[in-house]
A and B are shown apart, each in its own frame.
Chain A
Amino acid sequence: MSRMAATRDGYGDALLALADNDKVVVLEADLGKSTKSLHFRKAFPDRTISCGIGEQNMLLVAAGMASNGYIPFASTFAIFTERAFEQMRNGVARPNLAVHLCGSHGGTHTGTDGSSAQSIEDLAIYRTLPNVVVMHPCDDVSTKQLTMQLPNLGGPSYMRTARNKTPVLYDGKEDQIRIGKGVVLREGTDVAIIACGVLVHESLDAAEKLAEQGISVAVVDMHTIKPLDTELVDRLSKQCGAIVTAEDHSIIGGLGGAVSEHVVSSYPVPVEKIGVHDRFGESAGADEMLEMMGLKSHHISDAVKRVIARKA
């Protein structure tokens, strides 16, 4: 049994690890205990700016600090970042200020808090903004690695983390993680599953069961949704001739949207999308939500078989 951890803990660890850089500052909107920026706040209160329950102000305070040479890391729930979307658009992305926004508790996997807290559209909306890098890592190790690379990015970013624990994949494999580069976790020749976040592990489970049935499936952790690793997508399209995308996010505009948009204009192959089908969630356990939304490994396996049937 692999180690279990929540990606938000990787974010909190990374902020502490970045503290040696005295330009790194943390901004909170009363959810530091949840997003895990609290560890930084406890160690470096002078470099932590409480913005109260005011996300719109937080984003622009961060922008102002970035314009003065600081490297701000602002976090709240993914859903609450969305009320500051225009601030992110006009105040951060447009002037290309290196503000790093982290939305925790993303996806239906957030669970019992219910649909108001389950952001299923964050990846889609931030992906539309020029200059903004969009990430959704699958474990605490990759979250930490990606976060630690952000000060060198030179532009703004959005990262979704998740509330609940998932199996850790990258212990001892930290050097595999690079912003903008998908990780091939398993090679295959019949279908490529391109996944992000909590569905990476579900995809690996699906691939393993499909292998027992003689179906060879590649699995990719596409932790960076924008810019998409199109080189890798093209290679897999040619190698496998079919793609399944998997994400705890609306099937509209997220990873599935990004991959589909690229594939149709590059090397067209059939694509099946696993994601939330244009509906809201409800209160239930994390695993119950994945089952309810059709995001479990058996749903992914079914999608693999569907996409094979569509191959020319």
Chain B
Amino acid sequence: MIFYSISNTTIKGHSQRETAVGREMAGMTVSEMEEMARKCRIEICKMTHRAQAGHPGGSLSEIDILCGLYGHRLRVKSDDPDWNDRDRFILSKGHASPGMYAVLAEMGFISHEDLKSYRVKGGVCQGHVDMKWCPGVDFSAGSLGMGLSFGMGCAVAAKLDGSSRNAYVMVGDGEIQEGSVWEAAMAAAHHELGNLKLFVDCNRIQNDDFCEAQMRMFDIPSKWKSFGWAVKVIDGHDMSSIVESIDWMDSITDKPAVVIANTVKGKGVSFMEDNPAFHGAAPSDEQLAIALSELGVTV
């Protein structure tokens, strides 16, 4: 019984999903996932160019990991995005939404037509990923430092349900400067959440500048280890290493596991690589043409 109702301020956007082709389960090959990542990079450049806003740098740094996770492992159903026993994926660095939207389109949760709605009024592709707007999004992001706690809640719920589903979270390296990340890190280890898996996208650049200049984080793997997590460091652009690290994560069942992925901000587009200017700036018409050419788009 509802005693009264209050207006719900958010309404899920209307996806053009009928045109999309859904994938039921993961299980792609490394070369297939590499090709998916290339296509996603193209979409990231196009989306931010079309919107003349957004965050291409962090989308390009995370994209190989997202493709590896969705292509190799994540148990989700694009034709049933709210399936209760799905694995959860929480993009805590929610500004890197173009990367996630590109993957969701590849996986059939939304259509490629939907990608044109990025930052457009009424579109499923809100500026930051939003569970109330976009099918396949499990967390409404936008404020850094929140996703790991939310993922912990998903992991606790899965355990209470007696389910084998996992909660996967991605944070940026700059993001772990938020103190609340460490509240979650401590709590997840205390509760021995073996079903909580974290990627740290270490692209070494944050909004204003290089992390080294803004806030040195020193030995990131040691920090997680000392908080009681299982830790692995990988090259976040090597798909075989990504796949191996996901399998490694899944083998850890008695404590939370974190993969520290060394990445390059803007990876795949020469003038964006390692360039703080492309944390939150869109490519111009000329820059888009160069980017697409570098990504193998033939005119």
Task: Spell out A's residues near B (CB within 8 Å).
Answer: 25, 46-47, 49-52, 54, 56-57, 59-70, 72, 86-87, 90-91, 94-96, 130-131, 133, 149, 152-155, 178-180, 227
B24 close to chain A: CB less than 8 A: no
Q: Tell me if A57 and B10 are in contact (CB < 8 A).
A: no
0/1 interface trace, chain B 140-173, chain A, CB 8 Å (1 if under): 1011011001111111111011000001000000
CB < 8 Å: which of A60, A70, A133, A153 contacts B150?
A60
What is the CA–CA distance of A62 and B161 in the complex, to the nearest angstrom?
Answer: 15
Q: Return chain B residues, CB-CB under 8 Å to A227.
A: 4, 6
What is the CA–CA distance of A87 and B146 in the complex, to the nearest angstrom?
Answer: 7
Q: Which of B41-49, B179-187, B198-206, B260-268 contacts A (4 or more CB under 8 A)?
A: B179-187
Interface residue total, chain B, C-beta cutoff 8 A: 42
B175 close to chain A: CB less than 8 A: no
Q: Tell me if A54 and B3 are in contact (CB < 8 A).
A: no
Q: Tell me if B10 and A52 are in contact (CB < 8 A).
A: no
Q: Return chain B residues, CB-CB under 8 Å to A46.
A: 160
Main secondary structure of the interface of A (DSSP, over half): mixed
Q: Return chain A residues, CB-CB under 8 Å to B4.
A: 179-180, 227
Residue among B6, B151, B191 facing the most chain A CB atoms (10 A cut-off): B6
CB < 8 Å: which of B132, B138, B161 contacts A96?
B132
Contacts between the two chains (Cβ within 8 Å), count: 129
Q: Tell me if B142 and A67 are in contact (CB < 8 A).
A: no
CB < 8 Å: which of A51, A59, A67, A91 contacts B154?
A67
Q: Tell me if B154 and A56 are in contact (CB < 8 A).
A: no
Given known A25-B160, A56-B180, A57-B149, contact A68–B84 (CB-CB < 8 A):
yes
What is the CA–CA distance of A72 and B138 in the complex, to the nearest angstrom?
Answer: 18
What is the CA–CA distance of A54 and B184 in the complex, to the nearest angstrom?
Answer: 8
Q: Tell me if A91 and B3 are in contact (CB < 8 A).
A: no
- Of all A-B residue pairs in the complex, the 9 with the closest CB atoms, nearest first, are A64-B153, A60-B149, A68-B157, A54-B183, A57-B183, A61-B153, A56-B180, A64-B150, A65-B153
Q: Tell me if A54 and B187 are in contact (CB < 8 A).
A: yes
Q: Return chain B residues, CB-CB under 8 Å to A25.
A: 160
Distance to closest chain B CB from A45 (angstroms): 12
What is the CA–CA distance of A130 and B157 in the complex, to the nearest angstrom?
Answer: 26
Q: Tell me if A64 and B149 are in contact (CB < 8 A).
A: yes
What is the CA–CA distance of A114 and B35 in the complex, to the nearest angstrom?
Answer: 62
What is the CA–CA distance of A60 and B10 in the complex, to the nearest angstrom?
Answer: 19
24 interchain pairs (CB within 8 A)?
Answer: A52-B186, A52-B187, A54-B187, A57-B149, A57-B152, A60-B150, A61-B153, A62-B153, A63-B149, A63-B153, A64-B139, A64-B153, A64-B156, A67-B139, A68-B84, A68-B158, A90-B142, A90-B146, A95-B130, A153-B2, A155-B6, A179-B4, A180-B4, A227-B4
Distance to closest chain B CB from A158 (angstroms): 13
Distance to closest chain B CB from A165 (angstroms): 28
Q: Return chain A residues, CB-CB under 8 Å to B14.
A: none
Q: Tell me if A67 and B183 are in contact (CB < 8 A).
A: no
B190 close to chain A: CB less than 8 A: yes
Q: Return chain A residues, CB-CB under 8 Å to B142.
A: 90
Q: Return chain B residues, CB-CB under 8 Å to A59.
A: 149
Q: Which residue of chain B lies nearest to A69 when distances are taken between CB atoms in the complex?
A: B84
What is the CA–CA distance of A301 and B276 in the complex, to the nearest angstrom?
Answer: 64
Q: Return chain A residues, CB-CB under 8 Å to B157.
A: 64-65, 68-70
What is the CA–CA distance of A47 and B157 in the complex, to the nearest angstrom?
Answer: 10
Q: Tell me if B2 and A54 are in contact (CB < 8 A).
A: no
What is the CA–CA distance of A242 and B123 in the complex, to the nearest angstrom?
Answer: 48
What is the CA–CA distance of A69 and B161 in the complex, to the nearest angstrom?
Answer: 10
Q: Return chain B residues, CB-CB under 8 Å to A66.
A: 153
Q: Which residue of chain A lies nearest to B163 when distances are taken between CB atoms in the complex?
A: A68
Distance to closest chain A CB from B76 (angstroms): 14
What is the CA–CA distance of A95 and B274 in the complex, to the nearest angstrom?
Answer: 34
Q: Return chain B residues, CB-CB under 8 Å to A178.
A: 3
Q: Tell me if B156 and A63 are in contact (CB < 8 A).
A: no
What is the CA–CA distance of A90 and B130 in the complex, to the nearest angstrom?
Answer: 11
Known contacts A64-B157, A67-B150; 19 additional CB pairs below 8 A are A54-B187, A56-B149, A57-B183, A60-B146, A60-B184, A61-B156, A64-B139, A64-B151, A64-B153, A64-B156, A67-B138, A87-B146, A91-B140, A91-B143, A94-B10, A96-B8, A131-B8, A179-B3, A227-B6
Q: Tell me if B187 and A57 are in contact (CB < 8 A).
A: yes
Q: Which residue of chain B lies nearest to A94 when distances are taken between CB atoms in the complex?
A: B140
B9 close to chain A: CB less than 8 A: yes
Distance to closest chain B CB from A22 (angstroms): 9
Q: Which residue of chain A lies nearest to B90 when distances are taken between CB atoms in the complex?
A: A64
Q: Tell me if A153 and B3 are in contact (CB < 8 A).
A: yes
What is the CA–CA distance of A153 and B3 in the complex, to the nearest angstrom?
Answer: 7
B131 close to chain A: CB less than 8 A: yes
Q: Tell me if B3 and A70 are in contact (CB < 8 A).
A: no
Q: Tell me if B10 and A68 are in contact (CB < 8 A).
A: no
Q: Tell me if A130 and B9 are in contact (CB < 8 A).
A: yes
Q: Return chain A residues, CB-CB under 8 Å to B84.
A: 68-69
What is the CA–CA distance of A88 and B71 in the complex, to the nearest angstrom?
Answer: 33
Given known A131-B9, A149-B3, A178-B3, contact A61–B149 (CB-CB < 8 A):
yes
B1 close to chain A: CB less than 8 A: yes
Q: Return chain B residues, CB-CB under 8 Å to A60.
A: 146, 149-150, 152-153, 180, 184
Q: Tell me if B146 and A91 are in contact (CB < 8 A).
A: yes
Q: Tell me if A56 and B160 are in contact (CB < 8 A).
A: no
Q: Return chain A residues, CB-CB under 8 Å to B150.
A: 60-61, 63-64, 67, 91
Q: Return chain B residues, CB-CB under 8 Å to A179.
A: 3-4
Q: Tell me if A64 and B8 are in contact (CB < 8 A).
A: no
